[in-house]
Amino acid sequence: MELIDVTVPIRNGMVVFEGDPEVKLSLASAIADGDVANLTRVDLGAHTGTHVDAPVHFIDNGPGIETIPLDALVGPAVVVDATGVTGHIDATALDGLGIPDGADRLLFKTPNSAGDGIWASPRFERDFTALTQDAAVALAARGVCLVGLDYLSVAPFGDPVGVHLALLEAGMAVIEGLDLHAVEPGAYHLMCLPLLIEGSDGAPARVLLGREG
């Protein structure tokens, strides 16, 4: 099986969602300074880069990241070609994307992935493509167990609550921050493992897509 890494690397100066903590990587100890080993200190927000949302992110006293079922995060998935969508992905646009019947893990490749992708920008871009609330409701009605998107939120900038609640209250796993610019639409095997941070509202994840060579 060929493995494709769709994870955004964590590094100093990387793009984060507007208002989120900046990423700071530094050496807490260094061999060059006479210490016995190099030890990196990592300061970042739980929603840095490629990450998974937990219900408590938008549901007060909701479940943390440790409650996301692993069988939702690993299994067959479809990278949906939404690169032709103008504006955000609403329920009408969703109907025109040719999503296969029974597909329950959907990763949306949107105009965010055009060219080298929105991740090539050194600054946060407010004008990214996302899902609308009626699309999120439609995905829940389809019985989808996981949805992923190729930027730092599944919801439009400035209007995060309705989309997130529609997905999280339906028990859906939510992956944000995927780098899909070099990935062809189609069927894959998804492997997404967020850090196990007890009670957290989210966690960075390493996400791989597998396909038969």
Nearest-angstrom CA–CA distance, 213 and 210: 9
Considering only CA atoms, which of 38, 34, 43, 36 is closest in space to residue 10? 43
**Number of domains, the chain:** 1
List Cβ neighbours of 205 (8 Å cut-off, separation of 6 or more): 7, 50, 51, 52, 175, 192, 193, 194, 195
CA-based max dimension of the chain: 62
Residue 16 belongs to a domain = no
Residue 41 belongs to a domain = no
Residue 31 belongs to a domain = no
Residue 19 belongs to a domain = no
This prediction has a pTM of 0.97
Annotated catalytic, 88?
no
pLDDT digits (tens, 9 = 90+) for 13-37: 999 999 999 999 999 999 999 999 9
Q: Which two tokens stand for residue 200?
A: 């957290």
The residue segments making up the domain with residue 59 are: 2-7+46-211
Residue 36 belongs to a domain = no
SS3 (DSSP) at 70: helix
User: In the chain, which residues have pLDDT < 50?
Assistant: none
Residue 54 belongs to a domain = yes
CATH number of the domain residue 194 falls in: 3.50.30.50
Choice among 47, 51, 57, 88 that is catalytic: 57
Residue 38 belongs to a domain = no
Residue 76: CB atoms within 10 Å:
12
Provide the pairing of β-strand 173-176 with 146-149.
Answer: parallel
Question: What pLDDT does residue 212 have?
Answer: 83
Question: What pLDDT does residue 41 have?
Answer: 98
Residue 67 belongs to a domain = yes
DSSP designation for 119: G
